[in-house]
Amino acid sequence: MYFYLTLFICLLLTDFTCIIKCQIHTNNSTYQFQKPYILKNILNSNQNKVIVKRRFSEEDFKKMNNQYALEQKNQQSLKGIADAIQNTIEPVYGGDRPSNCEQKNLYFCPSRKSYYDDWKCIKLEDLCDSHPDCPNYEDENPTICMFHILLKNQFQNFVKVVKTILEDKRDKR
């Protein structure tokens, strides 16, 4: 779900009363920022490529010549100087939440304690262990644990039985 890095400028809002979600849709994947930013793409009008030379203030945007097209994704006027230039973004799974579970065999907790907390992933060994690890105790949910314990305790036996049956059928041919 990764894509080639697209350069763009994100200007940090100085007035946090207005929170704006910025997303880029590329190759059927959605990418989103965790902080409120205003997204500005500075496009070369001849080649339609994004270019970034330095941080821009609101005055810089006003002084730009006709060679560049400014694509603004909101109606909010910019104040001050850009605090950050972003050239990497996080993959989003499930539509609106970033996943930090990049390793295999991790359980993604579907909730956070508050909006500002990071998402949490726990090891599968910590799933259904009678000790809550997710903020809202989802890792101890009886529905999840019913299947997890089944898999944990019986999956190996099930695999052995299926393997034996398949070997018997193969030998009979």
3-state class percentages of the chain: helix first, strand second, coil last, to nearest 5: 25, 25, 50
Q: Are residues 85 and 135 in the same domain?
A: no
Domain of 31 in residue numbering reads as: 9-98
Please list, in sequence order, all residues whose beta carbon lies within 8 angstroms of the beta carbon of residue 3, skipping any fewer than 6 positions away: 26, 27, 29
Neighbours of 7 (CB within 10 A): 13
pLDDT per residue rounded down to tens, the chain (173 residues): 333 333 233 333 333 333 333 344 444 444 444 444 344 444 444 555 544 444 555 565 555 543 344 444 333 334 333 433 333 333 333 334 455 566 677 788 888 888 777 778 888 888 888 889 988 888 888 887 877 666 666 667 777 888 889 998 888 87
Number of domains in the chain: 2
Do 157 and 80 lie in a common domain? no
106 is a domain residue: no
- Residues 59 and 78 sit within 8 Å (Cβ to Cβ): no
Q: Please count the CA atoms within 13 angstroms of the CA of 78 that sit on its side-chain side.
A: 22
Whether 36 maps to a domain, the answer reads yes
- Asked if residue 117 is part of any domain, the answer here is no
88 and 44 housed in the same domain:
yes
Torsion, Cα of 157, 159, 164, 167 (10° steps): -170
* Tally: H helices and E strands in the chain: 2, 9
| Residue 162 host element (H or E) | helix 142-172
